[in-house]
Structure 1
Amino acid sequence: MITSVLPAPRRAERATADASATAWALAARNGDPYAAEHFVRALHGDVLRYVAYLSGDPQTADDLAQDTFVRAFDSLPRFEGRSSARTWLLSIARRAVADSFRRTAARPRPADTHDWQTAVEHAQPSGLPGFDDGIALLELLETLPDERREAFMLTQVVGLPYDEAAGFIGCPVGTVRSRVSRARATLERLVLDAEIEASVPVA
């Protein structure tokens, strides 16, 4: 199933990764360049995927990710680790994309399937298993309502725990779970329909 191609990491693994990234951020706040480098490496992929998803224009994803980290380092002295560094950084990424939209409001840029393919190529090496299915998943995500797509993306692709995703979006945890469940059901139905259609012999 395509919906299993990009699963969220196991909770224990994600918690360990988040704790590590947050520790790197706190160390970088104190001026440790080694920690700063590891902080960027730990979260760059998540930021790149998220800004590509939000902007719909992967051609600018690298610039938006760079802008996100510039803003993050400017704000790092005020980061106290009350939330995970990942959640904090994604909030900054969202503002960076919103500011980019405001700056380019006079030049709207439509997103299309080819843009999504480029985004995945940047976010995931093409040699990994499931690469083509990952592209298909992102194409299918485009068919979901915005709220369900964001909940699914944050929890199943970026890997935020449901409670952190709820705080990030600004809604109850139960709402996030419901949106993800409905998104998953829709994606599974779309995949099944595609498989049925592909199995029908061409006349």
Structure 2
Amino acid sequence: MEDEAAGHPDDEAAVLIRFRQGEREAFEWLVRQYRQPAVGFAYHLTGDYHTAEDLAQDSFAYLLVYPERFDTRASFKTYLFTILRNKSIDSLRKRQRTLPVEAGKRRRPDSSFSGDYSGDNLPEGNRMPPPGREDPERMAIVHEEDQEWQRRLLTLKPDYRMAVYLVDVGEMSYTEAAAIMGRTTVSFKVLLHRARKKLRQIYEKEEWDCEASRRGTSVSRGSVPESPSAGV
């Protein structure tokens, strides 16, 4: 394909026109450009890398089957993330129905494996390596943000998590993020404000607990009488 390394908006606009016309090479170019951001978005919403990969793959499959549904006047990333958002929400709902005992609990990134590390039941190219042979792309996504921040983010409800990710990680405008979430810009700003406030409260509580624990340890140590100094 001509502009293999194209990344300029004008280049992408031309690719999108060809994609909508059903050109396979144009579709493959878009997959290369947006696969990692798509997996990263789904991962931050679900906290499960396997699920994130599957959701991204499903979203691209939808685009491949229905290219004509994309409006070339719109942002491809916004369109892709909207599809991914809907699929992520469906996935979270199904998880809650199938895992009633774990209702309200979210799997941490490193505990998302069920024991089948080989991933033999996954399509070739989507298999995860066994422990000790980490896939570079997976590690790039898992470590793209500070892990403590990720952990706190995963404690938020899905809408809050999504709002923070789109703006603070995805660097989208309020208008773009609002479109993905199906909200007005004003409504989205309110949601984002509440989400950031909740994150700040979680952080402050953890800091307070940590300080309280530290002070408790200091008091405990300080209560032990010191032995007299030699020669006094």
TM-score (norm 1): 0.69
Matched, 1:50 2:41: yes
Amino acid at match of 1:112: R
Match of 1:168 among 180, 194, 202: 180
**Partner of residue 50, structure 2:** 59
Aligned 8 A contact 1:18 1:86 in 2: no
Matched residue SS, 1:125: helix
How big is the shift at 1:124? Answer: 5.2
Aligned 8 A contact 2:44 2:154 in 1: no
Matched, 1:134 2:179: no
Larger RCO: Structure 1 or Structure 2 (Cα < 8 Å, ≥ 6 residues apart)?
A: 1
Matched, 1:125 2:140: yes
How big is the shift at 1:78? Answer: 2.8
Percent of pairs with identical residues: 26
Q: Which residues of structure 2 form unaligned runs of 5+?
A: 1-6, 114-135, 219-232
Give me the whole-angstrom Cα distance separating, in 2, the residues matched to 1:149 and 1:102.
15
Give me the whole-angstrom Cα distance separating, in 2, the residues matched to 1:145 and 1:198.
24
Give me the whole-angstrom Cα distance separating, in 1, the residues matched to 2:31 and 2:210.
42
**Partner of residue 191, structure 2:** 179
Give me the whole-angstrom Cα distance separating, in 2, the residues matched to 1:17 and 1:153.
24
Matched residue SS, 1:50: helix
How big is the shift at 1:66? Answer: 1.0
**Structure 1 residues 33 and 146: alpha-carbon distance in aligned structure 2, compared to 1, 3 A threshold:** closer
Query: Could you give the per-residue CA deviations for residues 98-133 of structure 1, whole angstroms, max 9, x where no partner exists?
Result: 555677675237532245888xx855528x9xx385
Give me the whole-angstrom Cα distance separating, in 1, the residues matched to 2:51 and 2:34.
18
Amino acid at match of 1:48: V
Match of 1:70 among 55, 58, 61: 61
Matched residue SS, 2:162: helix
Matches of residues 1-203 of structure 1 in structure 2 within 5 Å?
Answer: 21=12, 23-98=14-89, 100=91, 107-108=98-99, 111-115=106-110, 125=140, 131=143, 134-195=146-207, 197-198=209-210, 200=214, 202-203=217-218
**Partner of residue 128, structure 2:** none
Aligned length: 183
Structure (1 or 2) with the larger CA radius of gyration: 2
Give me the whole-angstrom Cα distance separating, in 1, the residues matched to 2:190 and 2:111.
26
Amino acid at match of 1:83: A
How big is the shift at 1:72? Answer: 0.9
**Structure 1 residues 140 and 23: alpha-carbon distance in aligned structure 2, compared to 1, 3 A threshold:** farther
**Structure 1 residues 97 and 80: alpha-carbon distance in aligned structure 2, compared to 1, 3 A threshold:** same
Counting helix residues as a fraction of each chain, which structure ranks higher?
Answer: 1
**Structure 1 residues 29 and 181: alpha-carbon distance in aligned structure 2, compared to 1, 3 A threshold:** same
Give me the whole-angstrom Cα distance separating, in 2, the residues matched to 1:54 and 1:98.
8
How big is the shift at 1:170? Answer: 2.4
RMSD after superposition? 3.5
Aligned 8 A contact 1:19 1:84 in 2: no
**Structure 1 residues 144 and 83: alpha-carbon distance in aligned structure 2, compared to 1, 3 A threshold:** same
Give me the whole-angstrom Cα distance separating, in 1, the residues matched to 2:177 and 2:168.
11
TM-score (norm 2): 0.62
Aligned 8 A contact 2:47 2:154 in 1: no
Give me the whole-angstrom Cα distance separating, in 2, the residues matched to 1:133 and 1:148.
17
How big is the shift at 1:84? Answer: 0.6
